[in-house]
């Protein structure tokens, strides 16, 4: 018989310490081996009980979840899933926890205090199982420090992008995106449109954190936002994002259509839209994440003549999203996280969009040919 996944629940709320184990009882592959009311007790129980996964509240007395997470990453290397409050403060602490190495997070329902956790039961159980299978982080992402931004001189002339770069990412995405964006120069000639699986209320703060730490402009997308060079638009939680070519400038469009692949936002929705609107002028990157969202959309961009990149599985926190595209033959290149930025800069160069940096050619796996591309006329 396969050994059950051993889970330690750390939460200062007695109700949550009761409800989370009850919620997980329905999954026969998971066993809650203990609970703790703060970080100090939690660290002691990790040593005593040797859990495979820890679920962690962040706001606790004596030792809070952030400090406990720091101790876990230094000493124990156990994957941690944050169980976060769906508030502005909860979102801020959750993003900090992800930056410190938390595997993933789930948000408590608004009525959690009334004993209703059923709506996150399957999500929490799935993330526990994926975390246990993935184990300790494969790599620690260190984001280089960046200089404070100098405000750009105001210009009445928009900087039209040479290429549109569509990015899809899920588990492990916040750190991976921060690393990628930190490697792009302020004058990056492409425009990035990004779907990161993240709940409503988290994406605006996430975009702001990226904007403050990276050379390029990053903002949460709004319908009608222009696709401009040196800009990254992050799709808001609980919306889908599409793109549209317009006479006076190409724009992002937000829509409230049903979930696709269980997600809203969905990477496939964005990728299919980019394939339809931009064809062989499109670039797409499918990065770390669980599930298959984005694989078929990456194939659509490849079929339209666009250039497609999958993050190499060995540099992903969870590799199932890019791997599902790689196994279907939808990735023109498989590239490590560290190598993606140089490929994007090379492909987006207006003077020579088909060139590739020599250093990268030997470090990526060519799976199929690339489509032709031309500079977008303004």
Same domain, yes or no: 31 and 116: yes
- Which of 124, 118, 234 lies closest to 178 in space, CA to CA? 234
**Do the Cβ atoms of 5 and 53 come closer than 8 Å?**
yes
The percentage of the chain sitting over the pLDDT mark of 90, rounded to a whole number, equals 72
Q: What is the pLDDT of residue 377?
A: 39
DSSP state of 71: H
Give catalytic residues, as residue numbers. 170, 197, 293
* Confidence grade of residue 265 (pLDDT, cut at 50, 70, 90): very high
Same domain, yes or no: 232 and 109: no
C-alpha to C-alpha distance for 230 and 92, rounded to whole angstroms: 25
Residue 154 belongs to a domain: no
Q: What value does the mean pLDDT take over residues 84-101?
A: 86
Q: Domain limits at 64? A: 5-134
* Confidence grade of residue 77 (pLDDT, cut at 50, 70, 90): confident
Q: Is the pLDDT of residue 120 over 90?
A: no
The model's pTM is 0.86
Q: How many residues does the chain have?
A: 378
Residue 150 belongs to a domain: no
**Do the Cβ atoms of 48 and 76 come closer than 8 Å?**
no
Can you give the C-alpha Rg of the chain in angstroms?
Answer: 21
The percentage of the chain sitting over the pLDDT mark of 70, rounded to a whole number, equals 85
Q: What is the pLDDT of residues 19-56, one digit of tens each?
A: 999 999 989 999 999 999 999 999 999 999 999 999 99
CATH number of the domain encompassing residue 25: 3.40.50.2300
Give the E-state strand segments of the chain in sequence order.
5-10, 30-36, 53-56, 80-84, 104-107, 164-169, 191-196, 217-220, 231-234, 240-244, 251-255, 282-286, 307-311, 333-335, 365-366
Lowest mean pLDDT among 61-65, 154-158, 178-182: 154-158
DSSP state string for 53-91: EEEE-S--SSS-HHHHHHHHHHHT---EEEEE-SSHHHH
Q: What are phi and psi of 261, to 5 degrees?
A: 55, 30
C-alpha to C-alpha distance for 85 and 104, rounded to whole angstroms: 14
- Which of 168, 170, 177 lies closest to 126 in space, CA to CA? 170
Q: What is the pLDDT of residue 36?
A: 96
Same domain, yes or no: 130 and 168: no
Q: What is the pLDDT of residues 320-369, one digit of tens each?
A: 999 999 999 999 999 999 999 999 999 998 754 444 544 343 333 333 33
Q: What value does the mean pLDDT take over residues 106-119?
A: 72
Same domain, yes or no: 308 and 186: yes
Q: Is the pLDDT of residue 155 over 70?
A: no
Averaged pLDDT of the chain? 87
Residue 375 belongs to a domain: no
Same domain, yes or no: 188 and 235: yes
Same domain, yes or no: 43 and 179: no
Tokens representing 153 are: 């001189």
Among 134, 156, 191, residue at a domain's last position? 134
- Which of 117, 136, 140, 163 lies closest to 22 in space, CA to CA? 117
Q: Which residue has the tokens 């026969």?
A: 28
Q: What value does the mean pLDDT take over residues 6-11?
A: 97
Same domain, yes or no: 243 and 126: no
**Do the Cβ atoms of 73 and 24 come closer than 8 Å?**
no
Angle between helices 267-278 and 295-303 (to 10 degrees): 10
Same domain, yes or no: 109 and 250: no
Residue 139 belongs to a domain: no
C-alpha to C-alpha distance for 301 and 290, rounded to whole angstroms: 21
Same domain, yes or no: 284 and 349: yes
Lowest mean pLDDT among 68-77, 104-113, 233-242: 104-113
C-alpha to C-alpha distance for 260 and 89, rounded to whole angstroms: 29
Same domain, yes or no: 69 and 174: no
Residue 99 belongs to a domain: yes
- Which of 320, 236, 335 lies closest to 283 in space, CA to CA? 335
What is the number of domains present in the chain?
2
Angle between helices 65-75 and 88-100 (to 10 degrees): 10
Q: What is the pLDDT of residue 353?
A: 43
C-alpha to C-alpha distance for 324 and 326, rounded to whole angstroms: 6
Q: What is the pLDDT of residues 159-173, one digit of tens each?
A: 999 999 999 999 999
């Amino acid at each position: 018989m396969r050994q059950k996944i051993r889970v330690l629940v750390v939460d200062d709320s007695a109700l949550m310490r009761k409800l989370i184990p009850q919620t997980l009882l329905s999954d026969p592959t998971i066993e809650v081996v203990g609970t703790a009311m703060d970080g100090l007790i939690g660290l002691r129980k990790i040593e005593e009980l040797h859990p495979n996964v820890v679920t962690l509240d962040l706001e606790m007395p004596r030792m809070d979840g952030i400090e406990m997470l720091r101790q876990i990453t230094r000493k124990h290397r156990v994957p941690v899933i944050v169980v976060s409050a769906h508030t502005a403060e909860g979102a801020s602490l959750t993003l900090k926890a992800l930056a410190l190495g938390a595997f993933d997070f789930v948000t408590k329902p608004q009525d959690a205090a009334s004993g209703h956790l059923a709506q996150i039961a399957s999500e929490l159980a799935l993330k526990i199982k994926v975390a246990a299978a993935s184990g300790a982080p494969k790599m620690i992402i260190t984001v280089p420090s960046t200089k404070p931004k100098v405000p750009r001189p105001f210009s009445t002339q928009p900087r039209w992008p040479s290429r549109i770069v569509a990015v899809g990412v899920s588990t492990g995405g916040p750190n991976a995106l921060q690393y990628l964006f930190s490697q792009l120069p302020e004058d990056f000639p492409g425009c990035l449109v990004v779907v990161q699986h993240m709940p409503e209320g988290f994406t605006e703060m996430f975009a702001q954190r990226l904007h403050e730490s990276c050379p390029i402009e990053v903002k949460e997308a709004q319908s009608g936002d222009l696709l401009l060079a040196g800009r990254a638009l992050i799709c808001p939680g609980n919306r889908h994002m599409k793109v549209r070519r317009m006479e006076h400038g190409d724009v992002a469009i937000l829509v409230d259509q049903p979930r696709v692949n269980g997600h809203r936002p969905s990477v496939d929705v964005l990728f299919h839209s980019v394939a339809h609107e931009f064809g062989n002028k499109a670039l797409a990157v499918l990065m770390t994440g669980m599930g298959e969202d984005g694989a078929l959309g990456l194939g659509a961009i490849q079929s339209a003549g666009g250039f497609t990149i999958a993050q190499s599985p060995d540099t992903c926190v969870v590799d199932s999203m890019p791997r599902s595209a790689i196994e279907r033959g939808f990735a023109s290149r498989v590239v490590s996280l560290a190598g993606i930025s140089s490929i994007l800069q090379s492909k987006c160069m207006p003077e020579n969009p088909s060139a590739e940096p020599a250093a990268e050619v030997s470090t990526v796996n060519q799976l199929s040919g690339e489509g032709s591309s031309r500079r977008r006329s303004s």
